[in-house]
Amino acid sequence: MDSFVNLMSPLTRVNLPKHIAIIMDGNGRWAKARGLHRVEGHARGVKVSEDIIEVAHDVGIGYLTLYAFSKENWQRPPEEVHALMGLLKAFLLEKKQKMLDKGIRFNTIGDILKLPQDVQETIAMVKKETAHGEKMMLTLALSYGSRDEIIRAVRAMFSAGLETSSVNEEILASFLDTALMPDPDLIIRTSGESRISNFLLWQGAYAEFIFEECLWPDFDQHHFMAAIAEYQKRERRYGKTSEQLM
């Protein structure tokens, strides 16, 4: 692992993305290509997530957000949904101590009240115990859809009795599930699909996108480092000219 960190020159460390978000796609196709059940693809996907969490932490990424379960994923066969919930719970129980040791704060975005009660309780416990982690915030998007998040935020603003004239970008952002984190600088999607799939629509307004050909179970720390290097080569202008940025 250290070798990856050592590979980074002091210059590349300066321009690191603060927040990387990943759409982990392709578990099913990976399993199918090997004659395995889809769930085995997800199990392998969790292992890859663990490696990427580790390297993101070691490199010094402050915020890592992983799209683990979308609102639309509830429509999958019940056995697959059940297996994904089981993998999620096992991940949290197995990795809690490592998160504590490494200063990782666990967080979620999405409508987690839809998750099974035992999974909700495990999430609440891990969030509470890791709340003091300061090195990296690990966020799992669970039962997440960006449009749903925005609707929930607007409803919460109405309930809070906000004056319409007081609503601005900052206020709306503070009602989103992501209120605790900066916008993503870099969004990576695996499996060769070039779609955003209802992920961080508001927050990704100025993000760089990298669409990676390989399936999530084949994604590794080299791909992750290469994506950061690609990000560092891009110039982010936020609508300004290059001269204005100088």
- Active site residue ranges: 25, 73
| Residue 103 to residue 137: CA distance in whole angstroms | 9
Which residues are registered as beta bridge partners of 20?
A: 64, 186
- 50 near 99, Cβ under 8 Å? no
CB of 73 to ligand FPP, least distance (A): 5
Name the residue nearer to ligand FPP (CB basis): 175 or 224: 224
Q: How far is the CB of 235 from ligand FPP (least distance, A)?
A: 31
Which residue of this chain has its Cβ atom nearest to ligand FPP in the complex?
A: 28
With respect to ligand FPP, which residue has the nearer C-beta, 45 or 184? 45
CB 217 within 8 A of CB 51: no
DSSP secondary-structure letter at 236? P
CB-nearer residue toward ligand FPP: 91 or 175: 91
Q: Which residue has the tokens 């932490």?
A: 57
Contact 144, 178 (CB under 8 A): no
Cβ 72 to ligand FPP, closest distance in Å?
A: 9
- The β-bridge partners of 181 are none
Q: Which is nearer to ligand FPP, 63 or 175 (CB)?
A: 63
Dump the DSSP string for 175-199.
HSTTTTSPPPSEEEE-TT----TTS
What minimum distance in Å lies between the beta carbon of 226 and ligand FPP? 20
Q: Which residues bind ligand FPP (CB under 6 A)?
A: 24-29, 42, 45-46, 49, 66, 68, 73, 87-88, 91, 216
The rounded distance, in Å, linking the Cα atoms of 119 and 246 is: 49
